[in-house]
Chains A and B, each alone.
Chain A
Amino acid sequence: MKQIDMKEIDVNRLEVRHLSTFFDTDEGLVRSVADVSFSIRPGKTTALVGESGSGKSVTSLTLMRLLSRTASTQVSGEALFTNRAGQTLDLLSLPEAGMRRIRGNEIAMIFQEPMTSLNPVFTVGEQIAESVRLHMGLDRAAALAHALRMLELVEIPAAAQRLKEYPHQLSGGMRQRVMIALAMACNPTLLIADEPTTALDVTIQAQILELMRRLQAETGMSILFITHNLGVVAHHADDVAVMYAGRIVEAAPVRELFAQPRHPYTQGLLACLPAQQRKRELAGGQAGGKRRLYAIRGQVSSPLAPPPGCAFEPRCDLAIPACREAMPDLLAAGPGRSARCIRLEETAVATVEAA
């Protein structure tokens, strides 16, 4: 396998190399994450984008070692994390005790559904205090005082009162703020945010994204942002990795990705958005008359019966017989860019046209 851009290795906050997570199920081996490599720069946001089943959440759970350790789960690869002290550790081979020191401390995580990820029988304050007592060795009173500062940090009104409330007493947006307060409590260097705004209304989503942006600017933490929302990616990521069927099919800085996507899947994903369709219509002087949206045909193949070559080949407009022969490598596609496609010369000029 070709290595991409190795020169920045020692400065990246996280360097994931050839990460694979397979599940041995009764129906056969499911390759949920296969040969995934990406990096996150200090103080920057890398977005992992993909549709359901693309493996983006399994990637984050594997990195945090939150998958249940059974014989049926097979993990391989490296995840080199550089901690506050400048030491580089492999998250995947670290002993469990070492991992516990990192989890919730150096690396924190926020989830999609704040109601199910907060404990319903403890107050908000107790939950935040628990992690700072564990990781920062504070006593109960000091930990609660710290929890209060955290709630103020995430702009929760009447924080002193909220500290004593239970999750069910808070709105969805407030719960997600509590989740962020909990994640920020030990001043993490890396925040993994798995669809943090998907369950929220759009005006509340804007508040939460603004908050995350502010906290990142203040603390210099890196963010791994997992989402399917391309609008959020466009405005909140620095680098983007697009996943399809367990693999990264394209990686690029955000502006380059949106300006000129190179993988046919990324091209299709952007083209099928109504907003992009309108832009094309107007650019082409066809304003007024509504045309069909571009649609990627078919659906994702079953992970139990993947196609022999490129996973996207059955749905791809540019597929040729060679695409069926072998899984393409991630090939360099310009500065800081790569794409898993053997037809990159063609995709550089291809414009997706509605049928």
Chain B
Amino acid sequence: MSATMNTPLIEVKNLQRYFGAAAKPVRAVDDVSFSIQPGETLGLVGESGSGKSTIGRTLLRLIEATSGQVLYRGEDLGAASSSRMRALRSKLQMIFQDPYASLNPKMRVRDILGEALQVHGLAKGKEARDKRIAELLELVGLRAEHASRYPHEFSGGQRQRIGVARALAVEPEFIVADEPLSALDVSIQAQVVNLLCELRDRLSLTMLFISHDLDVVEYLCDRVVVLYLGRVMEVAPTAELFAQPLHPYTQALLAASPKPDPEIKSERIALQGDIPSPVNPPSGCVFRTRCPHAIDACAAARPELRDMGHGRFKACIRDDIANAVPAAPALMAA
């Protein structure tokens, strides 16, 4: 990707989102910055509690940021009025994790898609609307006659297609896909991955792809942001990240993810203990309590995200640790 010279479509600056009492907040997202270039698919990975869903929602102002900025084409979304925000929402859409919970069970598919069109004043008139709905259904691999059905008449994979169609109905530029595959069976996941790839290429979509499935992220994303306890640990182009993770947490995460091949014996970097509470995160580096390479200095100050060259960044003060052997060197030739 040589997109670094372009103006980013989305820029996240020092984003913070705290929940709960001000005295003892849950630091769900703590000073996160990254940008997404037009046409780029950025992966956001991390374990539960890392803040990845909160970031996705804060980006679209489904929840408000505690502090920090989200810029869309240079415009601060946090400062946008509600009517301006409504207009912007046709450019910024979301695909949700659970295709069972995110579609209104009392609405027909026609009305689910039609509502999106109506709110944004698109495809006015019954005829134009029906035509557009049929187009959208075909776009996501469903049939026009499915418009008169209710969500419960569809399988999980088909429902996720409806969720994708609803997001695309308003012709967005940017989509936040929040774990869009995790409620689906493996054989159906591949169908939805292909659909997302195809639509992204055809409609030149920019995407923030939130997932805990590293294999899918490696397949689908151009760059990856690795989160831990609400903070960015590492940012890197996908191929480089998977071939040579620089941050000890990324190394452990990749090593812990079992490859579907009994012949690949991955280097085990067993992490001790649990993820600490975001109410009372460790001082300095939040990962130090589980890090096999932690030293005294790690507790002293919060490590800055440092530029390591070649589009890579890491928040770790140690440059003297050996990089983990990739799980499968033979597969990383690309």
Listed in ascending order, the chain A residues whose CB lies under 8 Å from chain B are: 51-52, 157, 171, 173-174, 201-207, 209-210, 228-236, 254-255, 258-259, 268-270, 272-279, 282, 287-288, 290, 292-297, 299
A selection of 27 A-B contacts at a CB cut-off of 8 Å is: A51-B187, A171-B274, A201-B212, A202-B212, A202-B253, A202-B256, A202-B257, A203-B252, A203-B290, A206-B255, A206-B256, A206-B270, A234-B261, A236-B258, A269-B186, A272-B189, A273-B186, A273-B215, A274-B193, A275-B218, A275-B259, A277-B219, A282-B331, A287-B333, A293-B193, A299-B155, A299-B157
Question: In the complex, which of the residues B256, B259, B334 contacts A282, with contact meaning CB atoms closer than 8 Å?
Answer: B334
For B194, the chain A residues whose CB sits under 8 A away are 292-293, 295
Bound form: Cα–Cα A277–B274 in Å: 33
Question: In the complex, which of the residues A51, A157, A231 contacts B260, with contact meaning CB atoms closer than 8 Å?
Answer: A231
Interface string of B181-196 (1 = CB under 8 A from A): 0000111111101100
Bound form: Cα–Cα A109–B263 in Å: 29
Task: Contacts A203-B253, A297-B191 known; list 19 others, CB within 8 Å.
Answer: A157-B273, A171-B275, A202-B253, A203-B252, A203-B256, A207-B271, A231-B260, A258-B260, A272-B187, A272-B189, A273-B215, A278-B331, A282-B333, A287-B333, A292-B194, A292-B198, A293-B219, A295-B187, A296-B187
Contact A295 B260 (CB under 8 A): no
Which B residue sits closest to A281, measured CB to CB?
Answer: B334
CB distance from B177 to the nearest CB of A (A): 15
For B262, the chain A residues whose CB sits under 8 A away are 234-235, 254-255, 258
Bound form: Cα–Cα A282–B260 in Å: 16
B152 close to chain A: CB less than 8 A:
no
B48 close to chain A: CB less than 8 A:
yes
For A279, the chain B residues whose CB sits under 8 A away are 261, 331
Which B residue sits closest to A297, measured CB to CB?
Answer: B191
Bound form: Cα–Cα A157–B190 in Å: 40
Listed in ascending order, the chain B residues whose CB lies under 8 Å from chain A are: 47-48, 155, 157-158, 185-191, 193-194, 197-198, 212, 214-216, 218-220, 252-253, 255-264, 268, 270-271, 273-275, 290, 330-331, 333-334
Q: Which 8 pairs, one residue from A and one from B, show the smallest C-beta to C-beta distance?
A: A231-B258, A272-B190, A274-B219, A201-B47, A51-B185, A295-B190, A287-B334, A206-B256
For A258, the chain B residues whose CB sits under 8 A away are 260-263
